Chains A and B, each alone.
Chain A
Amino acid sequence: AQSVTQLGSHVSVSEGALVLLRCNYSSSVPPYLFWYVQYPNQGLQLLLKYTSAATLVKGINGFEAEFKKSETSFHLTKPSAHMSDAAEYFCAVSRAGFQKLVFGTGTRLLVSP
């Protein structure tokens, strides 16, 4: 079975500070990994995905994530937080060829001026 664990239900940063949202996965087969973002009153929007190509994946809005097999991690980072980054972020995993995404519990990012 596959699963993801997101450490920290809430992360607070100051505007301009580094953003680090943690995600660890468990999978018996090579995983596909995703980060989704949900802004208030909106749907889940894909930020980036890892599909067994480059381990450092760049996404939208300046976010990136690095797949580290040895650490079973796929942490999301952004060098400098912006107020507009305040949202809920979800890590998700799936298997190649399978349709089901397994989500983490989400991390709410709070950005203060």
Chain B
Amino acid sequence: EPEVTQTPSHQVTQMGQEVILRCVPISNHLYFYWYRQILGQKVEFLVSFYNNEISEKSEIFDDQFSVERPDGSNFTLKIRSTKLEDSAMYFCASRQTTTSGANVLTFGAGSRLTVL
């Protein structure tokens, strides 16, 4: 069964450092997403991406965050200067359909980011 692959599974970084989380969505999917879950809290929407541009973003997704699809397969989330509160599990997801309707997202296993 096709799956969404995320790397790294766990990254530890110092506050202020840049971090790039990588995702390989399912090959024929067109919509891509990042969500995050701070320990003990809700899974929160960060951003959605379609046709090489951001289609929606949350208030969490400030100027410190960016996404891109550099080579047509990888989908990356960059945090420019990490803060302690960025420590969380980050989930990538992708969706196939181009029509509106139920959003059946396929999620990756997540990347755990720990900021010290």
Do A and B share a complex? Answer: yes
A96 interface neighbour in B58, B93, B100, Cβ under 8 Å: B100
- Pair B102/A103 contact, Cβ less than 8 Å: no
Q: Are A42 and B56 in contact (CB under 8 A)?
A: no
Q: Are A96 and B101 in contact (CB under 8 A)?
A: yes
User: Is B91 on the interface with A (CB-CB < 8 A)?
Assistant: yes
Asked whether A36 lies within 8 Å of B103 as measured between CB atoms, the reply is no
Q: Is the CB of A51 within 8 A of B101?
A: yes
In the complex the two chains form, is A36's CB within 8 Å of B100's CB? no
How long is the Cα–Cα vector from A81 to B31 in the complex, in angstroms?
35
Stretch among B13-21, B69-77, B80-88, B104-112 lining the A interface: B104-112
Does B45 belong to the interface (CB within 8 Å)? yes
Which residues of chain A in 56-113 are interfacial with respect to chain B, using CB atoms and an 8 Å cutoff?
90, 92, 94, 96-106
Q: How far is the CA of A100 from the CA of B61 in the complex (A)?
A: 14
Closest to B48 in A: A99
Q: Pick the contact of B44 from A49, A97, A98, A103 — CB < 8 Å?
A: A103
**Min distance, Cβ A41 to any Cβ of chain B, angstroms:** 6
A45 at the interface (CB under 8 A from B): yes
- As a 0/1 sequence over residues 36 to 60 of chain A, the CB contacts with chain B under 8 angstroms (1 = contact) are 1000011111100101000000000
Q: Closest chain A residue to B103 by CB distance?
A: A94
- A96-B101, A99-B56, A100-B56 are known contacts. Are A41 and B109 too (CB-CB below 8 A)? yes
The answer to whether residues A43 and B48 also contact, given A51-B101, A99-B56, A99-B103 and a CB cut-off of 8 A, is no
> Closest residue of chain B to A49, judged by CB?
B102
Are B41 and A105 in contact, with the CB atoms below 8 A?
Answer: yes
Known: A43-B6, A90-B43. 5 other contacts (CB 8 A): A32-B103, A46-B106, A96-B101, A103-B43, A105-B40
Q: Which residues of A contact B (CB under 8 A)?
A: 32, 34, 36, 41-46, 49, 51, 90, 92, 94, 96-106
Binding site for A on B (CB under 8 A): 3-4, 6, 9, 31, 33, 35, 40-45, 48, 55-56, 58, 91, 93, 95, 100-110
Question: Mind listing 21 A-B residue pairs with CB under 8 Å?
Answer: A32-B102, A32-B103, A41-B9, A42-B109, A43-B4, A43-B91, A43-B106, A43-B108, A45-B107, A46-B104, A49-B104, A90-B43, A94-B102, A94-B103, A98-B103, A99-B103, A100-B45, A101-B35, A102-B45, A105-B40, A105-B41
